[in-house]
């Protein structure tokens, strides 16, 4: 299991991208947060992609907002192993196999049977080992994580970005409503461009604490807006949820590059769009990381080759 390295590399290379593009940043977002007995007020002032001033003022319930989804938390490989260990012991006890011992040895678990004939012991050990993958998936799902195989990379796990985006949509409705009122029925591309410019101006945070606890760097969409900072996959997840609220008819995806993540949508290609092949078509990419003011169909030069060739991993939102 290479989850520590996988998540750490994503964080560090997202930070590298920030260094590469920060010189082109030109605008700053003004952010105000106020909480009282009646709720939470979040105010944003920034310049849109045309340079026009924008104000988004949103009021919502504080507790339900910042706790969506309720069960997401950092999940290091050590914690995953502890949870998996507990899950396997529960499975053994449910079978009535109280002689089973499961020892943690480095990154693996060793199953030992202490009673019964040797053949029976082997059968019990084999049954528990066969259940191990299912146990791991159950632990990942409980805390909103999912397994992933990066293109030409190691197996690992990441926050379940699509699931988190979907379950965040309701809490983000006041924000998408504020955007809709400001834009007044624009095209899907124009809406996406507006969202991109807003999120690109939210301060970037490379979440270096992933070095100590993989998964700690990811921040959920509601927490990102509440705390006003986020890294690449955090911003992509927020973008996916907002865009789905505003244009549910447009299919969207998350694209995992070597060390980075971007958004991709099924829009009609325009001249100059950077795109990625998927299921017989080409998806238009959009990068909300910032602070560079990239448009829909633009991405940093060092990622274009992987996108063009399809040397990426793609998940549906």
Q: Give yes or no for residue 216 having a pLDDT over 70.
A: no
**Are 107 and 183 part of one and the same domain?**
no
Q: Do 41 and 59 meet the contact criterion of CB atoms below 8 Å apart?
A: yes
**Are 210 and 289 part of one and the same domain?**
yes
**Are 68 and 213 part of one and the same domain?**
yes
Q: Do 258 and 63 meet the contact criterion of CB atoms below 8 Å apart?
A: no
pLDDT tens digits along 110-134: 999 999 999 999 999 999 999 999 9
Percentage of the chain lying above the pLDDT 90 cut: 74
Q: Give yes or no for residue 186 having a pLDDT over 80.
A: yes
Rounded CA separation 64/69 (Å):
9
Per-residue model confidence (pLDDT) at position 255: 97
Task: Among 124, 142, 160, give the residue marking a domain's end.
Answer: 142
Per-residue model confidence (pLDDT) at position 8: 41
Report, as an integer, the average pLDDT of 55-63: 94
Alpha helices by DSSP H, listed for 57-117, are 62-66, 77-94
Report, as an integer, the average pLDDT of 14-43: 68
Buried b (16+ CB within 10 A) or exposed e, 224-256: bbbebbbbbbbbbbbbbbbbbbbbeeebbbbbb
By three-state DSSP, how is residue 145 classified?
strand
- Cβ neighbour number for residue 129 with a 10 Å cutoff: 13
**Are 162 and 25 part of one and the same domain?**
yes
Rounded CA separation 182/71 (Å):
33
**Are 88 and 136 part of one and the same domain?**
yes
pLDDT tens digits along 283-302: 999 999 998 999 999 999 99
**Are 133 and 268 part of one and the same domain?**
no
Q: Containing H/E element for 261?
A: strand 260-265
Task: Among 101, 119, 142, give the residue marking a domain's end.
Answer: 142
Phi and psi based region of residue 257 (left: phi greater than 0; alpha: psi -120 to 50; beta: remaining): beta
Half-sphere exposure of 257 (CA within 13 A, CB side): 29
Please, which residues have CB within 8 angstroms of residue 292's CB and are 6 or more apart in sequence? 21, 22, 24, 25, 200, 300
Least confident residue range of 23-32, 166-175, 228-237, 260-269: 23-32
Report, as an integer, the average pLDDT of 30-58: 94
Per-residue model confidence (pLDDT) at position 167: 97
Per-residue model confidence (pLDDT) at position 156: 87
3-state percent helix, strand, coil for the chain, nearest multiple of 5? 45, 25, 35
Q: Give yes or no for residue 7 having a pLDDT over 90.
A: no
pTM: 0.86
Report, as an integer, the average pLDDT of 149-176: 91
pLDDT tens digits along 130-148: 999 999 999 999 999 999 9
Per-residue model confidence (pLDDT) at position 13: 43
**Are 52 and 136 part of one and the same domain?**
no
**Are 296 and 248 part of one and the same domain?**
yes
Please, which residues have CB within 8 angstroms of residue 110's CB and are 6 or more apart in sequence? 102, 103, 104
Could you identify the residue written with the tokens 């549910």? 248
Rounded CA separation 30/53 (Å):
11
Domain count across the chain: 2
State the residue range of the domain holding 117. Answer: 77-142
Task: Among 142, 161, 193, give the residue marking a domain's end.
Answer: 142
- Partners of 314 in beta bridges: 255
Rounded CA separation 92/247 (Å):
47
Question: Which of 19-33, 135-149, 212-226, 242-256 reaches the highest mean pLDDT?
Answer: 242-256
Percentage of the chain lying above the pLDDT 70 cut: 87
**Are 61 and 103 part of one and the same domain?**
no
Q: Do 264 and 216 meet the contact criterion of CB atoms below 8 Å apart?
A: no
**Are 114 and 95 part of one and the same domain?**
yes
Could you identify the residue written with the tokens 């927020």? 238
DSSP 7: H
């Amino acid at each position: 299991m290479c989850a520590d390295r996988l998540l750490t590399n994503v964080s560090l290379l997202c930070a590298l991208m920030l260094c590469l593009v920060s010189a082109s940043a030109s605008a700053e977002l003004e952010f105000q947060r106020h909480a009282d007995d009646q709720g939470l007020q979040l105010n944003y002032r920034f310049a849109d992609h045309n340079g026009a001033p924008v104000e988004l003022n949103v009021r919502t319930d504080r507790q339900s907002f910042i706790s969506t989804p309720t069960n997401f938390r950092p999940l290091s490989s050590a914690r995953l192993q502890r949870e998996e260990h507990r899950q396997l012991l529960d499975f053994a006890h449910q079978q009535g196999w109280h002689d089973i011992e499961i020892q943690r040895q480095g990154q693996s678990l060793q199953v030992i049977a202490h009673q019964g004939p040797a053949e029976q012991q082997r059968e019990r050990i084999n049954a528990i080992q066969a259940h191990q993958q299912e146990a791991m998936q159950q632990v990942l799902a409980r805390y909103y994580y999912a397994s992933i195989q990066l293109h030409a990379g190691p197996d690992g796990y990441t926050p379940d970005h699509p699931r988190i985006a979907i379950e965040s949509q309701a809490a983000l409705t006041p924000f998408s409503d504020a955007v809709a009122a400001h834009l007044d029925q624009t095209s899907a591309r124009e809406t996406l461009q507006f969202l991109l410019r807003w999120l690109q101006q939210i301060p970037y945070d490379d979440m270096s604490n992933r070095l100590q606890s993989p998964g700690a760097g990811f921040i959920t969409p509601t927490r990102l807006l509440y705390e006003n900072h986020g890294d690449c996959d955090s911003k992509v997840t927020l973008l996916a949820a907002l865009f789905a609220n505003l244009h549910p008819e447009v299919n969207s995806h998350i694209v995992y590059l070597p060390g980075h993540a971007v958004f991709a949508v099924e829009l009609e290609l325009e001249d100059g769009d950077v795109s990625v092949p998927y299921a017989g078509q080409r998806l238009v990419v959009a990068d909300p990381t910032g602070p560079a003011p990239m448009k829909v169909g633009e991405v940093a030069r060092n990622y274009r080759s992987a996108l063009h060739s399809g040397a990426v991993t793609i998940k549906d939102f």
